Amino acid sequence: MLQVLIQGLLLSGLYALIAVGFTLIFSVGRVLNLAYGAYLLIGGYVYFHFAQTLGLPKFAGVALAGIFGCAMGVLKYQLLVKPLKGNHVAIEISSLILAVFLQYAVVFAFGDSSKILLPIIPGVERVAGAAIPYSNLFAAIASWIILIALWAYVRFTHMGRAMQAVSMDAKGAAISGIDANRVNMTTWAISGTLGAIAGVFFASYTQLYPGMWVAPLIVAVAVVIVGGIGSIMGTLLVAHIIGFLEVLTSSLIAPELRGVFTMVLIIAILVLRPQGLLGREEL
């Protein structure tokens, strides 16, 4: 029982971090970034390359992953989202193509087989018969710190408040002199950074392999759909629902089914309550 609780908490923290970068883009830019999973993928491999293959310090690896993710977010906004000017179908489709491109770019550079990431912090703590790797503990704590920092950023900085304004009412924000282009680009940069760092943690939880972008994308999508958009608190709450659902399913029913309830939840919510559990302005 305690084991489920601890595992659920750790996984949920990570899921919240994964989802928050995705919801950020969705609420500010109204874009479903189907290439979001690819940030995690690239983040994981950048860390692997620098920290494990080249043997740089681990924290430098994480930082480099973040920098790569940030660059990817900005590039994607400049080269793909901006030229397609609000054509949502086109942005979604090209994002998907981009994700597949990146997946095979990774295959090209690192090969098809999956890699094991060495734990960021080695060692295991035993709590009530459950083995908790320090690495997972670290990932969860880091996720929480990042989430709180993000919350403070959105709340208290000028740029953060501009983001809020754009997400509530893009036209109104433009009228009151907010530079939507800069806000959007900043959002894409933050989203990319968060995604890539989440990728390092996610890969150390599971495995590093070229197809690993789909599962986190679905988690992020589920959080958006169930929780509605725009609120960091809603993201946190739903990330915990999904995290605990998965841990419970895999420990009580069958490990292979761990994702099933997430999917059922997405489908049921969309069909029965299209405005989301916690409400959503736009549909």
Partner 1 sequence: MGLRWYHYVLWAAFIGGMFVLPEFVSRGTLRTLIFANFLAIFAISWDALSGRTGYISFGHTFLIGIGAYTTAILTKRFGVPVEVSIPLAVIATMIGGLIVLLPALRIRGSYFALVTLAMMELIYQLVQVIRPDLTGGTRGMSGLPTLTRGAANGYYMSVSLMLAIALSTWLLMRTRLGTALWAIGMNEDAVAGSGLSPTRLKMIAFLTSAFIAGLGGAVYIHYLGSIAPRALFDINFVFTIIVAALIGGAGTIVGPIIGAFFLTFLLEYLRPWLPGAERYMVYAGLALILYMVQPKGLASLVTDAAARLRRAP
Binding site for partner 1 (CB under 8 A): 32, 80, 83-84, 88-90, 92-94, 96-98, 100-101, 103-105, 107-108, 112, 210-211, 214, 218, 221-222, 225, 254, 256-257, 259-260, 263-264, 266-267, 270-271, 274, 283
d(CA 193, CA 208): 18
- Which residues, 6+ apart, have CB-to-CB distance to 151 below 8 Å? 232
d(CA 92, CA 80): 10
Place of tokens 């979604």: 92
- Token pair listed for 174: 């433009």
Closest CB to partner 1 among residues 62, 226: 226
Closest CB to partner 1 among residues 209, 244: 209
Closest CB to partner 1 among residues 188, 209: 209
CB of 32 to partner 1, least distance (A): 5
CB of 75 to partner 1, least distance (A): 13
Residue 124 β-bridge partners: 133
Residue 115 β-bridge partners: 208
Closest CB to partner 1 among residues 33, 184: 33
d(CA 192, CA 208): 18
CB of 265 to partner 1, least distance (A): 9
- Indicate the burial class of 30 (C-beta count within 10 angstroms; 0-12, 13-18, 19 or more): middle
CB of 133 to partner 1, least distance (A): 26
Closest CB to partner 1 among residues 175, 271: 271
Residue 126 β-bridge partners: 131
Closest CB to partner 1 among residues 147, 224: 224
Buried b (16+ CB within 10 A) or exposed e, 225-264: bbbbbbebebbbbbbbbbbbbbbebbeeeeeeebbebbee
Q: Is the dihedral of CA 126, 16, 179, 169 positive or negative?
A: negative
Question: Interior CA angle at 51 toward 46 and 54, to 5°?
Answer: 95
d(CA 159, CA 141): 26
CB of 44 to partner 1, least distance (A): 18
**Residues 35 and 166: beta-carbon distance below 8 Å:** no
CB of 47 to partner 1, least distance (A): 21
d(CA 15, CA 9): 10
CB of 258 to partner 1, least distance (A): 9
Closest CB to partner 1 among residues 135, 191: 191
